Amino acid sequence: MKRTDVCIVGAGPSGSIAALFLAKYGINCILTDKAKFPRDKICGDGISGWVVTILNELDKDLLIRLSKQSFLLPSHGIRLVAPNHKSLDLPFLDNNQADLDIPPGFIGKRLDFDNFLIDEVKTKKEIDLLEATEIIGYTKEKDGIRLQTSDETEIFCRIVIFSNGANSKFMQDPGGIYKSKTHIMTGIKSYYTGVTGFHEQNYVELHFLKDILPGYFWIFPLPNGLANVGIGLDQERIRKKKLNLKAIMLEAIETLPYLKERFKDAELVSKIQAHSLPLWDGKRFISGDRYMLTGDAASLIDPITGEGIGHAAISGMYAAEQCKRSLESNDFSAKFMRNYDKQVYKRIGKELKISSKIVHFIKHPWLFNLIMTKANSSKILKEKLTLAMTDLEVRKELNGPWLYLKILMGR
Ligand SMILES: Cc1cc2nc3c(=O)[nH]c(=O)nc-3n(C[C@H](O)[C@H](O)[C@H](O)COP(=O)(O)OP(=O)(O)OC[C@H]3O[C@@H](n4cnc5c(N)ncnc54)[C@H](O)[C@@H]3O)c2cc1C
């Protein structure tokens, strides 16, 4: 049996970033993953400013090294396309990395990004990385947790961090998080070459197609002429309307004139694959006696944008901080672990709450069309929407009726 202070289950961004913060604090841990790296993760490959911020807090040099990797494309903004196909380009505002000359966001294949983090993990003597090792169960004991692995060895630890993604069974037990289909999105992604018409500063594109609101179709440019193309919608709507996401995506590419033109020389160069996204659906406990949940296992995905890598990074960082506190004070009680929840929600709770409310406005195509049309002709509204991406106070306005009333009244 292996023994350690902390065991992290899952070495995606939340698990590997938790492990790297633990190493920074000089705390030993075991990091397990059922896969062997490099491994792919079905994703849109959009790496947001939150990741940049957290890696900067972890290790500035690591962030600088990351920013120079050829598998990443710098991205400076977002293109929103309304159901009436009118588009609005919003730049990402400079985040606090400006002094480092780091772009506000990146797009890069998860195969490479996750492996970059794992390569860093491998340099840390504090981290014992166990690949191809699935955790299949756990038993609570008086002074720790015993984890059962797929190869029948056991791991005994004082704290466990469950970072094992969207399909984590630990989200329910011990986490107690049960989700309805309304708050689980199915996303499908594919890779194309030869897509044209991107913004010169590599804006990520969200196309809000009428039939799948509040879901969307996306096109994200990648290095070497590649693009990540996909579509996502909550499972309840898919079930109710009996939708086939793959067929909708291919039909949009083949029939919508503005997409058809951009895809006329494009070629599908991958399989079309699906995976689920557990969308945030309200504040829940994400820790308990001797354990924490992070990233997708804690259901921290933004309900509008589907962004989860940044929140995975944030939760990984705070989980490591909580391990430090618990080990120092020898307190692993559920009550003490709740400091972890507090830190996570202090950083992203407001943002998640506002997003979950704005989703209700996005459902109405006419309102969406109107806002986009007005924003294209109103400098003030455009600025407001740009600010809303980073300023929570401004974003709050998008969540109330007043802004929409003003728009309707032409002000
Ligand atoms: C189609 C799609 C598009 C998306 N697009 C974006 C995007 O553009 N930008 C963005 O920010 N987010 C996006 N997301 C969300 C993002 O992919 C996730 O939020 C993010 O990967 C969460 O990171 P994580 O570390 O929590 O989990 P994961 O990245 O899923 O990592 C979990 C790890 O745990 C391992 N594992 C699972 N079970 C076990 C076990 N029992 N024992 C050991 N190991 C285990 C897995 O092998 C995996 O390596 C998208 C998701 C989907 C499905």
Is 72 touching ligand 1 by the criterion CB < 6 Å?
A: no
Is 296 touching ligand 1 by the criterion CB < 6 Å?
A: yes
Is 34 touching ligand 1 by the criterion CB < 6 Å?
A: yes
* Structure-block tokens of residue 392: 């929570």
* Structure-block tokens of residue 175: 């986490």
Q: Digits of tens for pLDDT over the chain (411 positions)?
A: 999 999 999 999 999 999 999 999 999 999 999 999 999 999 999 999 899 999 999 999 999 999 999 999 999 999 989 899 988 888 887 665 556 789 989 999 999 999 999 999 999 999 999 999 999 999 999 999 999 999 888 999 999 999 999 999 999 999 999 999 999 999 999 999 999 999 999 999 999 998 898 899 999 999 999 999 999 999 999 999 999 999 999 999 999 999 999 999 999 999 999 999 999 999 999 999 999 999 999 999 999 889 999 999 999 999 999 999 999 999 999 999 999 999 999 999 988 988 888 777 777 777 777 777 777 776 766 776 776 666 655 555 665 555 555 555 554
Comparing CA positions, the residue from 87, 323, 344 lying closest to residue 203 is: 87
Ligand 1 atom nearest to 46, measured from its CA: 8
One-letter amino acid of 120? E
Ligand 1 atom nearest to 10, measured from its CA: 34
Query: Residue 184's pLDDT is what?
Result: 97
Residue 174: cis peptide before it, omega within 30 degrees of 0: yes
C-alpha span between 59 and 36 (Å, rounded): 25
Residue 66 CA to ligand 1 centre (angstroms)? 19
Q: Cβ of 83: how many Cβ atoms within 10 Å?
A: 20
Which CATH number describes the domain made up of 2-75+103-179+281-356? 3.50.50.60
Query: Residue 98's pLDDT is what?
Result: 54
Q: Cβ of 363: how many Cβ atoms within 10 Å?
A: 11
Query: Residue 356's pLDDT is what?
Result: 85
Is 108 touching ligand 1 by the criterion CB < 6 Å?
A: no
* Structure-block tokens of residue 25: 């604090």
Residue 201 CA to ligand 1 centre (angstroms)? 27
b/e 49-64 (16+ beta carbons within 10 angstroms → b): bbbbbbbbebbeeebe
Is 77 touching ligand 1 by the criterion CB < 6 Å?
A: no
Domain range summary for the chain, segments of one domain joined by +: 2-75+103-179+281-356, 183-278, 358-408
**Beta bridge partners of residue 205, listed in sequence order:** 79, 219
C-alpha span between 197 and 85 (Å, rounded): 14
Query: Which value, to the nearest 10 degrees, does the dihedral of the CA atoms of residues 228, 234, 239, 241 take?
Result: -80
Query: Residue 405's pLDDT is what?
Result: 54
The model's pTM is 0.94
Give helix 334-362 / helix 309-329 axis angle, nearest 10°: 160
According to CATH, the topology of domain 183-278 is: D-Amino Acid Oxidase; Chain A, domain 2 (3.30.9)
How many residues are present in the chain?
A: 411
DSSP conformation class of 290:
T
Consecutive H or E run containing 220: strand 216-221
Is 10 touching ligand 1 by the criterion CB < 6 Å?
A: yes
Q: Cβ of 274: how many Cβ atoms within 10 Å?
A: 14
In DSSP notation, 122-165 reads TT-TTEEEETT--EEEEEEETTEEEEEETTS-EEEEEEEEE---
Nearest CA, atom 2, ligand 1: 43
C-alpha span between 75 and 108 (Å, rounded): 10
Give pairs for 254-257: CB < 8 Å, separation 24+.
Answer: 256/85
Three-state DSSP state, 213 = coil
